[in-house]
Amino acid sequence: MMCVAQLLTMLSLSVYAAQLPELSRIFGLSNTQAGWIGAAYFAGYTLTVPVLVSLTDRIDPKRVYMLGSALLVLGCLLFATQAQGAWSAALFHAIAGAGLAGTYMPGLKGLVDHMDDAYHSRAVAYYTASFGLGAGASYPFSAYLGDSLGWQAAFVGTAVSAALAGVLVCLLLPAARPEALNIASTRLLDFRPVLRNRAALAYTMGYAMHCWELFGMRTWVVAYLVYAERLHGAAPGLLSPAIVAALLTFIGVPASIIGNEWSMRFGRLRVICLIMTASAVVCGVMGFAAEISYWAAVIMCLIHGIVVILDSASLTAGALGNADPGYRGATMAVHAMLGFGGATIGPLPSAGCWISPAARA
């Protein structure tokens, strides 16, 4: 149930990107303004995730999730009905981003609080996989509604999906067990106990580097493949750069689950180290593949898309499994903040390597 709810809330992720050409025309947006509106979603997430996720150590995660779902609905509906330009669009998009902060990690906290520790790792794997599935479905879902019924319908559709997620959680997620709340002995947003937990922090730092690599690759993969296509005059057919980029999202769903199963069987630390090493090697080879042929570049991108995601669920499960019981929410807040930080920084150094040849093509 929580995986279905997570998929429904993730449908808001790319609604703005899917409607950007139409919104740019209607609102007369410059490229800079369009970029800031897109960034506002993640700014809303970043500013609110420390508070909303940390609260789950003190109050029922179900209540936090309901608040997050309401913020998502509010942000999307306001965008559809009240957005009149760059400033209002950015504000409403930021509200939707805050809604994601109130649903993603609080939903995971609510899930694991009702499970025995032995099942946490597998629960994390399936839950985080639903994140990828929802992210992959967001763009075609929003694009279809926008093309069929207008851009407002795309935002209304994502608001409805977020409302359905809230209803599911309200009706089906049990209330938190009393022993899972109010264990923390420090104040809200005091992350010192989390930062002193070196075992959990190690997995979180690994997750930040994982997000750096993952989002650095996904941000520039289309530009990289376009360069390879133009360099060799290839006719990609069905496997165009955009289609390959979409495939990378969907193949990550089973890959994350499989990687976690390997961790449970062969040892989490050993498997993560092997996966990270393999991913680094594939990255190095992928950098030269475009010089061979377009299809060599496609193959290496698909291989990397599998390898890079294998350790995703294992890293989150490791951080959660090593968290102090009273600070699981705070640990997940730090995990989300550092992971997002890596995702934000990742595309920047990649730009110097990938956008330059794409621009020369």
Calculate what percentage of the chain has a pLDDT beyond 90. 40
Digit-coded pLDDT (tens) for 49-89: 999 998 888 888 899 999 999 999 999 999 999 999 999 99
Spell out the domains of the chain, with CATH numbers in brackets: 2-182 (1.20.1250.20), 195-360 (1.20.1250.20)
In angstroms, the CA 102 to CA 47 distance is: 11
- pLDDT tens string 182-219: 566 677 778 888 899 999 999 999 999 998 888 778 76
pLDDT, tens digit, 9 for 90 and up, residues 248-307? 888 888 998 999 999 999 999 999 999 999 999 998 898 889 899 999 999 999 999 999
CA gap 65, 108 in Å, rounded = 10
- Rounded-to-10 torsion of CA 43, 44, 47, 50: -120
Q: Please, what is the average pLDDT of the chain?
A: 86
- Checking if the pLDDT of 137 tops 70, the result is yes
3-state secondary structure of 91: helix
What was the pLDDT predicted at 201?
A: 94
HSE-up of 197 (CA within 13 Å, CB side)?
24
